[in-house]
Structure 1
C-alpha cells in the first residue's frame, strides 16, 4: 500500500511540473549519510544505541536500494550508512575528547512495550 501512495505522490508532483533532480542518484548516498550522521550526533541516546550494535551487521528489509529487498538481493544502503556512521562515532570515542566523555554515555533503555487492547 505505501508503494502505491509513493507512486501517486510522484505522479502528483510530475503533474505540477516538479521534477526530481537529475543528479539525485549520484547524491542520495551522501545526503543520507549526512542526515544519519547529524541525527546520531545530536541525540545521545540514539548514539549510544547505535554504538552498542557493534559489531553486528545492520540490515533493513523493506526496499531494494536502501534495504536488502527482504530476501538479501537488495543493496542495503541504509544498513551500510548506519554502520559507517557507527564507525565514525566509535572512532570519536577513541579521541582524547571522546575518552573524557565516554563515561557520560547513558545506558541504552529498553523500548517501552506497547500493550494492545481489544
Structure 2
C-alpha cells in the first residue's frame, strides 16, 4: 500500500471516529448573531483548540508556516496530532528550534500540559511568535476541520456567522469577554484571532465544496 493510500484510509477512519463524537449542529434561534464558543466541554466546544481530533500535517507545511527553511533530510513526511493545541505548541517549539520541547509536547495528549510545555519554549520571543502564530493556527484548523467530516460539516453549517472565542481572560485569541457579557461590550472586544482563523478555514472549505 502506498503512503498516500494509507493516509487516505487512515483519514477515513478518523472521520468516522470524529463523526461519532460530533452530532448535528444545533440550530440557533438567531442565525445572524455571533456564535460564541470557549471551553471544550461547553456548547460549540469543537471550535476550541483543545477539542480532541486526530489529523496530520506535512512537515514541510509546518516549516513554511513557522518561517523555517527546510534543511537537508528534513521537512519530509507527516506529523500526526491529537488536537489543534498540540499542533500549536509543537509549531511554537519548531519556530524557535527547541527540539526538546517538540518531543515533550508530542509525548502527551493533554492539551493543558501541552500549553504549559509550550510556554517553556527555549529562545521564545513575542516578536518572533507574533510573526507566524496566526498562520500556525489557521494551518492547524485547516487540517483539523478539513480531514474530519463531522467537524467540517459543523464548521460549514455556521454559514456566515461571526465566530468568537468568548474567553474573558484572552484578548488576543479571544474577545476578552464571556458569552453573557460579549454583546453588551462589543465595542471593547479583543483581537479574536482564533475566531478569525476559523472563519478563514471555513471559507477555504466552502470553496473546496464548490470546486
**What is the TM-score when the length of structure 1 is the normalising length?**
0.64
What is the CA deviation profile of residues 28-61 of structure 1, one whole-angstrom value per residue up to 9, with x for unaligned ones?
0001110010101110000000000011110011
In structure 2, which of residues 139, 157, 160 is the aligned counterpart of residue 34 of structure 1?
A: 139
User: Taking CA–CA contacts closer than 8 Å with sequence separation of 6 or more, which of the two structures ends up with the larger relative contact order?
Assistant: 2
Alignment: residue pair count: 85
2:83 — aligned with what? Answer: none
Question: In structure 2, how many angstroms separate the alpha carbons of the residues matched to 1:66 and 1:44?
Answer: 25
The answer to whether structure 1 residue 64 and structure 2 residue 171 are counterparts is yes
Structure 1 residues 96-111: aligned runs within 5 Å: none
2:43 — aligned with what? Answer: none
The answer to whether structure 1 residue 20 and structure 2 residue 124 are counterparts is yes
Question: In structure 2, how many angstroms separate the alpha carbons of the residues matched to 1:53 and 1:44?
Answer: 15
RMSD over aligned Cα, in angstroms?
A: 2.4
Question: In structure 2, how many angstroms separate the alpha carbons of the residues matched to 1:89 and 1:13?
Answer: 34
Question: In structure 2, how many angstroms separate the alpha carbons of the residues matched to 1:67 and 1:88?
Answer: 21
The answer on whether the counterparts of 1:66 and 1:79 sit within 8 Å (CA) in structure 2 is yes
Q: Structure 1: which 4+ aligned runs deviate by more than 4 Å?
A: none
2:196 — aligned with what? Answer: 80
- List runs of 5+ in structure 2 lacking aligned partners: 1-111, 178-184
- List runs of 5+ in structure 1 lacking aligned partners: 96-118
Larger strand share, 1 or 2: 2
Largest Rg, 1 or 2:
1
